[in-house]
Structure 1
Amino acid sequence: MLQIAGDGATVEGDIRPWHSATFVGMQHQLSLVIQGEHAAPRAAALAASLPEAEFAIRGHIVVDLAVDSVVHDGPDLSRLSLCVLTLEDW
């Protein structure tokens, strides 16, 4: 995700186990912080593209990614709140 976000981006968040009757995985609540020049347009572009992006996570498959919010804290700082569901890839 940081490769897609580019320079000046950081990710913070919480992960908790998730399961259904047939699947086991993890639910990720993430905050993607983008700093630097053009932070707001970069955040807007990411918010539009992340739900359809492909991710390679060893042992897991990203099955859902939702952008919950995008907040611009000035011209050089934007925050995206993300919810990601991954399933174990057996």
Structure 2
Amino acid sequence: MHVDPAATRSLITKLRATGGRGPWLAVLSELLALAHGGARLLHHEERPWSSATFSGSRHRFAFEFVGEDAIAKGEHWLEALPEHEFTIPGQLVADARIAKVEHAMTPGPRLAVEAEVLLLLDD
């Protein structure tokens, strides 16, 4: 299963208009923009996170990059993500890391990536 990028944009627009839940859409928008149209969102999962002094949420996103052009964009995405400066209203990105990378050649070239983003409330 995969998410069509055009449908993903429609989903994002709809959720923004209805107030969507939490900051994950802003994170998703930046991750997709960083992929320059090469990524397909497979799934997103969100968990609350807190320490003695901070609270926020941990997000895990799974993407796939299918085809040679998309894989090249995915390789650039892998390099750029850890240093990317996110702009998420009311949130600070404490950590953005690659959790898993898989390359496959059948039925065609494919790069599957899982990324984790830790958001802290910026009060």
Range into which the TM-score falls when normalised by the shorter chain: 0.7 to 0.9
Q: Which runs of 5+ in 2 are unaligned?
A: 1-30
Q: Which runs of 4+ in 1 moved over 4 A?
A: none
When you count strand as a share of all residues, which structure comes out higher? 1
> After superposition, where does 1:47-66 map in structure 2 within 5 Å?
47-66=78-97
Which residue of 2 is the match for residue 81 of structure 1?
Answer: 114
Whole-Å separation in 2 of the counterparts to 1:33 and 1:56: 23
TM-score normalized by the length of structure 2? 0.65
When the two structures are aligned, how many residues end up with a matched partner?
Answer: 90
Query: Once superposed, what is the RMSD of the aligned Cα atoms?
Result: 1.7
- Aligned residues with identical type, % of pairs: 34
Asked which structure has the greater CA Rg, the reply is: 2
Whole-Å separation in 2 of the counterparts to 1:44 and 1:37: 11
Higher RCO (Cα < 8 Å, 6 or more apart)? 1
TM-score normalized by the length of structure 1? 0.85
When you count helix as a share of all residues, which structure comes out higher? 2
Q: CA deviation at 1:35?
A: 3.0
Whole-Å separation in 2 of the counterparts to 1:17 and 1:69: 21
